Amino acid sequence: MKILLIGGTGTISTAITHSLAENGHEVYLLNRGNQNSGLPSNIRFINCDINDENAAAEKLDGMTFDAVCDFIGFVRPQLERDFRLFSGKTKQFIYISSASAYNKPVSDYVITEGTTLANPYWEYSRNKIECEDYLMKMYRENGFPVTIVRPSHTYCERSVPVGIHGRNGSWQVIKRMLEGKPVIIHGDGTSLWTMTDSRDFAKGFIGLLGNPHAIGEAFQITSEETLTWNQIYKTIADCLNAEFKPYYVSSEFLAAVSDYDLTGSLLGDKANSVVFDNTKLKRIVPEFCPSIRFADGIRNTIEYILLHKECQTEDKEFDNWCDNVICALENAKKEIIKNG
């Protein structure tokens, strides 16, 4: 197949890029060319900024594809641009949405593609819903061959997935563990969550490519291993040979005292217990069977990050914020006890 990936080097997409290229597909990456090192030699690059529509149209002139996959579309105008660029030029257009688009707060912890889409807490999720709505409208009215994919919390070897982190990624959480400092966990750590290794995600995603049953449909692709946040953080600490020192703080409090958009990422996503039902995906991609346990996948990630300094970006602002939150709550405890 001749496949164009818009992006193709991110947390979710890199494993897909590698797998497609290694299995003999004709793979094109359209991106600005900033992270293309280390990719298979048979990949073809279209170096431009997709947001410069005129430049992209010039680069793509005369080209057609079996599938086009957009990993970096976040707002409706970007998808309107994609429709103009690829209508009549691809047999399938796959849009990467987000499982955070599902209704919050959840009415049923078991999530299927039939779960309603609504998220009053997170603009990111509402934008994804608007993108989905637009694309499905183009499918119904113009026959644009859309497939919607909703990943949940997916990780690769370059970043450790955690519930709360700063603007520079999750390294500072790892550093706190290595230094024996407590790490903040939202709620009491018992809500349910799903972590998906990007290599497992790639299996399901690739099974949708060229699949006629996927056109006009939405699919979630996740692991089927359900974990508590305590289990997630404890597993990370074990991989680091560090003591697990959780400090529990309510999600509402964290959102109120942070400018890290924790209202969206916690109240609109991670603070909710969710279990994903992948029956719909398995019905048309029967070979999909996520096999990488979090304990194994995260060990691979930890090993990679500890060996690569470029993955170890410190975030002193976030570290200080964690210390301040913990200190304030400990002082409040002491004050209440004192005046009790």
Record the tokens describing residue 58, joined without a space: 């010039």
Q: How many residues does the chain have?
A: 340
Give the DSSP letter of residue 101: G
Record the tokens describing residue 336, joined without a space: 């209440």
Q: What is the pLDDT of residue 76?
A: 98
Q: Given CA atoms 102, 104, 107, 108 in this order, what sign does their dihedral have?
A: positive
88 backbone φψ class: left, alpha, beta (φ>0; ψ -120 to 50): left
Amino acid at the residue 1: M
Record the tokens describing residue 118, joined without a space: 């609504």
CA 99 to CA 112: how far, in whole Å? Answer: 10
Residue 168: pLDDT band by 50, 70, 90 thresholds?
A: very high
Residue-wise burial string across 278-308, b where 16 or more C-beta atoms lie within 10 A, e elsewhere: beebbeebeebebebebeebbbbbbeebeee
Alpha helix locations (H) across the chain? 13-22, 53-60, 76-86, 123-142, 171-178, 198-208, 229-239, 251-256, 262, 279-284, 294-307, 316-339
Average pLDDT over residues 318-338: 97
Q: What is the pLDDT of residue 38?
A: 84
> pLDDT at residue 340 above 90?
no
Residue 270: pLDDT band by 50, 70, 90 thresholds?
A: very high
Average pLDDT, the chain: 96
Strand 67-70 relative to strand 275-276: parallel, antiparallel, unpaired?
unpaired
> pLDDT, tens digit, for every residue of 129-151?
999 999 999 999 999 999 999 99
Is residue 195 within 8 A of residue 228, CB to CB? The reply is no
> pLDDT, tens digit, for every residue of 69-114?
999 999 999 999 999 999 999 999 999 999 999 999 898 999 999 9
- Helix (H) or strand (E) segment spanning residue 4: strand 2-6
The count of other CB atoms within 10 Å of the CB of residue 120 is 13
> pLDDT at residue 243 above 80?
yes
- Helix (H) or strand (E) segment spanning residue 154: strand 153-155
Is residue 313 within 8 A of residue 245, CB to CB? The reply is no
Amino acid at the residue 156: C
The C-alpha angle 10, 185, 260, rounded to 5 degrees, equals 55
Q: What is the pLDDT of residue 36?
A: 74
Helix axes 229-239, 171-178, angle to 10 degrees: 70
Q: What is the pLDDT of residue 33?
A: 80
Give the DSSP letter of residue 263: I
Q: What percentage of the chain has pLDDT greater than the value 70? A: 100
> pLDDT, tens digit, for every residue of 30-57?
998 877 778 999 999 999 999 999 999 9
Query: Which residues face 196 on adjacent strands?
Result: 154
Record the tokens describing residue 187, joined without a space: 């709620």
Q: What is the pLDDT of residue 190?
A: 98
Residue 122: pLDDT band by 50, 70, 90 thresholds?
A: very high
Query: Which residues face 95 on adjacent strands?
Result: 70, 148
Query: Which residues face 221 on adjacent strands?
Result: 151
CA 51 to CA 130: how far, in whole Å? Answer: 18
Q: What is the pLDDT of residue 289?
A: 96
